[in-house]
C-alpha cells in the first residue's frame, strides 16, 4: 500500500492529482517544470532545449485544500 502524505499545514490527508496546462490550440497537457528562467521562442512559446524538464505531481489536502507540487520523472524534449 502506498504511503499516505500528510498536509504540512493542517496534517490532513493529501490526495494525488494533476494540474492541466493548455497550449495554443487548447489541447490539455500535464504540467511540467523547466529549469532556469523563461526564454521566449517564436515557434513554441518558450524555449526548453538544453534544460532539465520534469513532470509535476500535485497533491491537495482533503481538509484545508492546500496544494503542494513535486517533480517526478525527468522528461525528454
- Tens digit of each residue's pLDDT (9 = 90 or more) over 47-74: 888 889 999 999 999 999 999 999 888 8
Residues 6+ apart with CB under 8 A from 66: 7, 8, 9, 10, 60
Quick: pLDDT tens for 32-47.
888 999 889 888 788 8
Determine if the pTM surpasses 0.85: no
CA 2/CA 47 separation, integer angstroms: 36
Give the dihedral of Cα atoms 17, 34, 51, 16; nearest 10 deg.
Answer: -10
> Nearest-CA neighbor of 7 among 61, 70, 69, 58?
61
Amino acid at each position: 500500500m502506498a504511503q499516505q502524505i500528510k498536509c504540512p499545514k493542517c496534517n490532513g490527508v493529501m490526495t494525488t492529482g494533476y494540474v492541466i496546462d493548455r497550449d495554443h490550440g487548447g489541447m490539455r497537457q500535464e504540467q511540467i517544470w523547466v529549469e532556469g528562467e523563461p526564454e521566449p521562442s517564436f515557434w513554441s512559446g518558450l524555449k526548453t532545449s538544453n534544460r532539465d524538464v520534469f513532470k509535476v505531481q500535485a497533491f491537495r489536502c482533503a481538509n484545508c485544500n492546500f496544494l503542494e507540487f513535486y517533480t517526478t520523472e525527468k522528461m525528454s524534449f
